Amino acid sequence: MLRIQFTFLTALLCTVLSVFVLSNAARADKPVVVTTIAQIADVVSHIVGDKMVVDSLMGEGVDPHTYRMNRYDVAALTKADIILYNGIYLEAQMEDALERMAENKPVIALAESIDKSLLLRSLDYKNKNDPHVWMDVRKWMAVTSKVLEVIKDFDPENTAFYDKNASEYLIKLEQLNGYVETVLATVPENERVVISAHDAFNYFGQAYGFEVIGIQGLSTASEAGLKKIESLVDLIVSRKLKAVFVESSVADRNVRALIEGAQARGHSIEIGGTLFSDAMGPAGTYEGTYIGMLDHNSTVISRALGGVAPVAGMSKQLTLAQKTAE
């Protein structure tokens, strides 16, 4: 009996090892694209299909402003054929290393390809722009076009394949932008204020007509002072705002301080939901895609501020927004 079990386990182990070896061999035959944030990896994956391997250094809940590379990241970047990052000082702790790697391979700061006249200025860093361009779907469409350009330059033989995939994805982004505009337009004008943990939503506000206020600055490394908290409490109470928002990648202590401050002044305000700002949702979920991220954010914001949006979102796939509603 023991001999039979041993033989079975040996066969099973050999099968697992074979699959692992074949999987790694398949990966070894393909160019590898490494990205910093998952939003970029999602775009790349739509364009390259099965022609390349796509890896992201940062996943759910990771804050790119303060992220520091570890030895595994260095190894991944060293082995990569192409490195794609956001730039505009989003990956502040990594930029020196990325610039050094650009001496040996394509290393592209995608957001820096956007017309500078369309970029918002940073109030935290002199001569810097706001890096959170993915909050405006149309700006992210420009980033998608830049990704396509980089991929085709690297692998011109498969240009038609990449063009087709990018075209199909851009159509989906256009549909997403239409949904975001529609549900946010249902929010009463006097309620169009998004207060969140840090200034990640300025492009969102510019594109969709919302006033946005971050308790912290553009970088989560900045601190919110007592005077800033007090001034925001004054704003909330005087305008009788209904909701503030927490972010999946930023601690919620400052947001809760606002709620407590408003309550002490006799005004009740609720957490309208959790928004995805610097990071997307869990890998393998709809909210773990760029489209799902923006679908979630716009749906949650609309519903929390008195607008009309389906609880399951544009594609009827939202799960986290439904939990918020419950």
The backbone torsions φ and ψ at residue 84, rounded to the nearest 5 degrees and listed phi first, read: -125, 130
- DSSP, collapsed to helix, strand or coil, labels residue 213 as strand
Of the residues 150, 179, 208, which one is the last residue of a structural domain? 179
**What was the pLDDT predicted at 253?**
83
**What was the pLDDT predicted at 179?**
98
Same domain, 23 and 158: yes
| Per-residue pLDDT band at 5 (split at 50, 70, 90) | very low
Same domain, 27 and 150: yes
Same domain, 150 and 209: no
pTM, full prediction = 0.86
* pLDDT tens by residue, 126-179: 788 999 999 999 999 999 999 999 999 999 999 999 999 999 999 999 999 999
Residue 64 pLDDT more than 60? Answer: yes
Q: Find where tokens 């999946």 sit.
A: 248
Same domain, 46 and 152: yes
Residue 63 pLDDT more than 90? Answer: no
* pLDDT tens by residue, 214-234: 887 544 444 545 777 888 899
Helix count and strand count (H, E) for the chain: 11, 8
**What was the pLDDT predicted at 326?**
57
List the beta bridge partners of residue 197: none
Rounded-to-integer distance, Cα 275 and Cα 304, Å: 12
Same domain, 169 and 194: no
Same domain, 11 and 55: yes
Same domain, 84 and 53: yes
List the beta bridge partners of residue 56: 35
The string of DSSP letters for 120-138 reads PBPSSSTT-B---GGGSHH
Report the percent of the chain where pLDDT is more than 90: 71
Q: Which of 107, 95, 100 is nearest to 131 (CA)?
A: 95
- DSSP, collapsed to helix, strand or coil, labels residue 267 as coil
Q: Alpha-carbon dihedral of residues 255, 93, 211, 138, nearest 10 degrees?
A: -130
Of the residues 117, 151, 179, which one is the last residue of a structural domain? 179
Same domain, 202 and 223: yes
* pLDDT tens by residue, 23-49: 444 456 899 999 999 999 999 999 999
Q: Which domain holds residue 64?
A: 2-179
* pLDDT tens by residue, 182-218: 999 999 999 999 998 878 999 999 999 999 988 875 4
Of the residues 156, 179, 202, which one is the last residue of a structural domain? 179
CATH number, domain containing residue 63 = 3.40.50.1980
Residue 281 pLDDT more than 70? Answer: yes
Q: Which of 267, 225, 274, 233 is nearest to 250 (CA)?
A: 274
The string of DSSP letters for 35-98 reads ESSHHHHHHHHHHHTTSSEEEES--TT--TTT----HHHHHHHHH-SEEEE--TTTTTTTHHHH
**What was the pLDDT predicted at 26?**
44
Same domain, 166 and 251: no
When divided into structural domains, the chain yields a total of 2
Rounded-to-integer distance, Cα 228 and Cα 92, Å: 24
| pLDDT (mean) for 277-284 | 92
Same domain, 131 and 192: no
* pLDDT tens by residue, 229-274: 888 899 999 999 989 999 987 778 888 888 999 999 999 999 999 9
**What was the pLDDT predicted at 125?**
72
Rounded-to-integer distance, Cα 40 and Cα 147, Å: 9
| Per-residue pLDDT band at 324 (split at 50, 70, 90) | low
Same domain, 247 and 154: no
Same domain, 167 and 310: no
